[in-house]
Structure 1
Amino acid sequence: MGDDAALQEGGCPNDKNLKNFWGNSPEDEDAYFEQQGVRGTRSFRTSPRGLTLFVRSWLPPAAAPPPRAAVLMVHGYGNDVTWTFQATPIFLAQHGFACFAFDLEGHGRSAGLRAFVPDVDLVVDDAIDYFDSVKNDPRFSGLPRFLYGESMGGAICLLIQFRDPAAYQGAVLVAPMCKISDKVRPAWPIPQVLSLVARVMPTLPIVPTADIMRKSVRVEAKKAVAEMNPMRYRGKPRLGTVLDLLRVTDCLNRRLGDVRIPFIVLHGSEDAVTDPEVSQALYREARSEDKAIRIYDGMMHSLLFGETEENIAAVRRDILAWLEERCDRRVEIQ
C-alpha cells in the first residue's frame, strides 16, 4: 500500500486525516488484520472493582499451529492499545504468539477520567485479573506467559511480578518507567507545591511538563501520525496521576534488587522521558538469574514506533529472539 510504503521510508502518508495508523486503506480493521495474517478480537470486560475496560487480542491465524506463548501487554501513559501500539502485537502474532492487552483506567476506550490514574496499585489489580482470565481460558491454558510493558506499562509489569514472580516466564520491558527522567520531572519546589494542591484537586491538569510524545518520537513525520490518534491524551498531566507515578517510580527505584523474574530491558540512550541509567541499574541489581539488556545508541523513548523502520526492526528482532529462545528452552525441558 502507498501509505505503508511512505512509513517504511520513515515518512508519513500525505493524508492528514488518517482513519487508522496505517492509513485509510483498508478502512476496516478486521480486513487489515486479515491482510497482516493475524486475527484480532475486541470486547469490554468489568474488573473486580466495577470498572469497564476495553480489551483486545491479536492471535495467529486459525490455520496456524497453536500459539507458542501468551504475551500479556501493558501500554504507556496517555496511549492506548490501538493506533500505533498494536503494531507490536501484530508483529508478534505473525510469529506465533497470542497477544493480549487492555486500555488502562482513564485511557483509550476504558472507563475513567482521561489520563487520571489516582492509584497505580488498582491498575495492577485490573491487569492481574485480566491476565488471569487469559490463563483460565481453555484455548490458552498451559501456554507460557510473558509480560510486556512500554514505559509506564513496564513499571506496571514489574509491580505485577512482585505480586507473584512465578506466575510468568519472563518480561519484556521497553523503556520502563522505573524513574521519570529529570528532563521531564518537575523541579523543586513544584512537586511539593503540587502535592498540597492535589489533596483537594487531584484531577486538575496543570503539571508543567513538556509534551511527552514530542520528546519520545524521533522521526518528524511520525509525530504527525501519533498526533492523529483520536485516543491520545493531549492535556497536561493531572496532579493525582503524576504524584502517584512519582510514588511508584520512587518505590521501584528502591526495589530494583527485588526483581527476580527473567527479563530483557530495552532502552534508547537518548531517552528523555524515562532514564536509561535506571534500566542499567535494574540489569545490575536485579536478582534474576536470566536477564538481558539492550541500550540502543542514539534512540529515543518510542523504540517501536517513533524511530526509523530500520531501528524498529532491530528492536523487534531482539524481542522476538529473546521470546523464542525461552519458548524453545521450555520445549526442551518438557
Structure 2
Amino acid sequence: MMKLPGVDDKLQKFLVSNKDEVDARRQAREAFKDIQLNIDHILFKTSCDGLETKESYEVNSRGIEIFWKSWIPKESKPKATVFFCHGYADTCTFFFEGIARKLASSGYGVFAMDFPGFGLSEGLHGYIPSFDKLVDDVIEQYSKIKENPEFKSLPSFLFGQSMGGAVALKIHLKQPKAWNGAILCAPMCKISESMVPPKLVVHMLTAMANVFPKKKLVPMKDMGDAAFREPKKKKQTEYNVISYKDKPRLRTAVELLKTTEEIEQNLEEVTLPLLILHGEADTVTDPSVSKALYEKATSSDKKLELYKDAYHALIEGEPDERVIQVLNDIISWLDEHSLKQNI
C-alpha cells in the first residue's frame, strides 16, 4: 500500500491491520479521527460552529453494542429529524460527518448509527447474517431516539445511501406510518448486473454460504473505481480506515441479493413521500430500478432526480459543483416537507 500524505509510520500500521473485531476498528478510528476531518474535501468545509455533536454507545436488546452519533443546531429547535442509514462496507463517521454538518447547519437534527458488524458497532466486520435482523436493530435504535421528548413532536425522515436505501425501504415496509418521508440516494433496490457474478456462481456461493457463511470468498470488482468519478476523491477513501475493504463474506452477499429481490418485488407497497436521487452513469446500483421505484411506489408525493454522467457516490465522489447541487436538492426537499408537516 502506498503511503498516505499526513500518515506517519505509527499510523500506517492501522491501514493494513486486521479489523474483523470492533476493538481494532475503534482504535484505528481514534488514531485517524483528526486527520479524517482535515482532508481536502468539500464535505469537510462546513464548520461545526453552532452545532452540538454527541457520540454514544448503547447495548441493544440483542446484546450488541451500537455506536451512534448526533448533530443538532445549538441556537434553535430543529425543523425536523433526519435518520441516516449508511451504505455497504461504510460507516457514519467519515464522509457522512460532512453531510451531517451541512444538514444540521441548515436546521435539522441529524442522527446516524453504524450497523452491527460495521464501523464502530460490535460484530464481525462486514458480516450480515440476517438483513431483516439488521433492519430491526436500526428500527430499535432510531425508535428510542424518536421517543425523546425533545424530538417526539418533530417530523422525522429517513435518509438512506446505497445499501442504506434498502435498509430505509425495509424500515418503511415494517413501519408504514412511522415516518414523514425518505431520501434515497443511489438506493440498492437492485445491484447492477455488472457487479453480480454469473447465475451459476451465485447458486454455488449460496450453497457454500450455508457451510462457510463468514468466509470472504465472493468475487467483486473494484467498487471505488465504479463509485467515484473524481480520482482525487476516490483516493481520499483510503483515509476511511474502518470501512470494510475485503471481498464480501458469503452470507452477506446472499443476504444482499435476497434483499434486493424482495424490494424489487414490493415497490408498489412504498407509500411515504420520497426523494430518489441517482446518477445516470451508476454501475453499482441500477438507476433503472430507481425509475421503477418512482413509477411503482403508491406514494402520492414522490420526486426522482437523475444526474447526468454521475456515478454511484453522488455526494462523496462527484465534482464539487455536483456535490453542492445534490446537497441543495436534499435540503430544499427537506425544507418543503418539514414546512408541510409543521403547518
TM-score between both structures, scaled by the size of structure 1 = 0.90
Question: Which one of 180, 189, 193 corresponds to residue 191 of structure 2?
Answer: 180
Contact 1:262 1:289 in 2 (8 A): yes
- Cα shift at 1:24: 6.6
Measure how far apart 1:155 and its partner are.
0.3
**C-alpha distance 36-65 of structure 1, shift in aligned 2 (>3 A):** closer
Show the counterpart of 1:131.
142
Matched residue, 1:306: 317
Q: Deviations over 1:164-203 (max 9, x none)?
A: 2211000000000000101111112110011111111011
Matches within 5 A, 1:1-334: 15=6, 19-23=34-38, 35-61=48-74, 64-332=75-343
**Stretch deviating more after TM superposition (230-239 or 211-220):** 211-220
Give 3-state SS (helix, strand or coil) of 2:36's partner. Answer: coil
Residues 90 and 243, structure 2, Cα contact 8 Å, conserved in 1:
yes
What is the rounded CA distance, in whole Å, between the counterparts of 1:184 and 1:118 in structure 2?
21
| 1:36 CA displacement | 4.2
Distance 1:232 1:187 in 2: 26
For 1:305 and 1:16, the matched residues in 2 are separated by: 22
Q: Secondary structure at the match of 2:298?
A: coil
Identity %: 37
Distance (whole Å) between structure 1 residues aligned to residue 46 and residue 327 of structure 2: 19
Paired position in structure 1 for 2:19: none
Work out the CA distance in 1 between the residues paired with 2:190 and 2:69.
28
What amino acid is aligned across from residue 326 of structure 2 in structure 1? V
Residue 21 of structure 1 and its aligned partner are, at CA, apart by 2.9
CA distance in 1, matches of 2:5, 2:116: 33
Q: 2 CA distance for matches of 1:215 and 1:51? A: 33
Once the two structures are TM-superposed, the CA of residue 34 in structure 1 deviates from its matched residue by 6.5
1:257 touches 1:285 (CA, 8 Å); kept in 2? yes
C-alpha deviation, 1:213, in angstroms: 2.4
Distance 1:259 1:153 in 2: 16
1:93–1:186 Cα change, 3 Å: same
Q: Alignment partner of 1:330: what SS? A: helix
Distance 1:326 1:24, change over 3 A: closer
Distance in 2 (alpha carbons) for counterparts of 1:51 and 1:178 = 27
CA distance in 2, matches of 1:228, 1:159: 31
Return the alpha-carbon distance in structure 1 between the equivalents of residues 89 and 249 of structure 2.
Answer: 11
Aligned length: 312
Q: Indicate if the aligned counterparts of 2:48 and 2:101 stay in contact, CA closer than 8 A.
A: no
CA shift digits 1:50-84 (9 cap, x unpaired): 111111111112xx220010101100000000111
- Distance in 2 of aligned mates of 1:199 and 1:77: 21
- Over aligned residue pairs, what C-alpha RMSD do you find? 1.7
Q: Does structure 2 retain, via aligned residues, the 8 Å contact 1:33–1:40?
A: no
Q: What is the CA distance between 1:86 and its match in structure 2?
A: 1.9
The 3 A distance-change label for structure 1 pair 227 and 24 is: closer
Note if contact 2:47-2:101 (Cα within 8 Å) is conserved in structure 1. Answer: no
**Runs of 5+ consecutive residues of structure 1 not aligned to the other structure:** 1-12, 26-31
CA shift for structure 1 position 331? 2.5
Following TM superposition, the consecutive aligned residue runs of length 4 or more in structure 1 with deviations greater than 6 angstroms are none
Q: Amino acid of the residue matched to residue 325 of structure 1?
A: E
Distance 2:337 2:253 in 1: 36
Q: Distance in 2 between matches of 1:91 and 1:116?
A: 31
